[in-house]
Amino acid sequence: MARIKKGDTVIVIAGEGKGTRGTVQQVDAKAQRVVVTGVNIVKKAQRPVRAGRGQTQTGIIEFEAPIHISNVMLVDPKSNEPTRIGYEVDDKSAKRRVARKSGTLL
């Protein structure tokens, strides 16, 4: 189970984009990879394909490539700093994510 979910604000803590903040667009829990807006932008030469295949862009396109989930940390909404993620279980056995630094619910 991935602790980071789609829509979370994260900061990159390792690699080329270190220090960059962005929101998570996609999470691949099986491969342990996330796609973050504005991070790990790559260029790809896209060939035109016959009509009817659903491809809209051709030429050189730029897009965000996935990075490993261990290279990002969740940003605490209260202190605006990177934090680890913990879990709280209340009396109704509902499991909720909690920021470790401030204790706020995520």
Q: What's the pLDDT tens digit per position in 22-67?
A: 999 999 999 999 999 999 999 999 888 776 666 677 888 899 999 9
Same domain, 97 and 55: no
List the domain range (segments joined by +) for residue 100.
78-106
pTM metric for this prediction: 0.81
Number of domains in the chain: 2
Same domain, 6 and 30: yes
Report the pLDDT value the prediction gives residue 67, as an integer from 0 to 100.
94
How far apart, in whole angstroms, are the C-alpha atoms of residue 31 and residue 29?
6
How far apart, in whole angstroms, are the C-alpha atoms of residue 57 and residue 46?
7
- Residue 21: burial class (beta carbons within 10 Å; 0-12, 13-18, 19+): middle
Residue 78's H or E segment, with its range, is none
Same domain, 41 and 84: no
Contact between 97 and 39 under an 8 Å Cβ cutoff? The reply is no
Report the pLDDT value the prediction gives residue 51, as an integer from 0 to 100.
66
Same domain, 8 and 53: yes
Same domain, 64 and 96: no
In the chain, what percentage of residues exceed pLDDT 70?
Answer: 92
Same domain, 19 and 1: yes
Report the pLDDT value the prediction gives residue 100, as an integer from 0 to 100.
86
Same domain, 33 and 58: yes
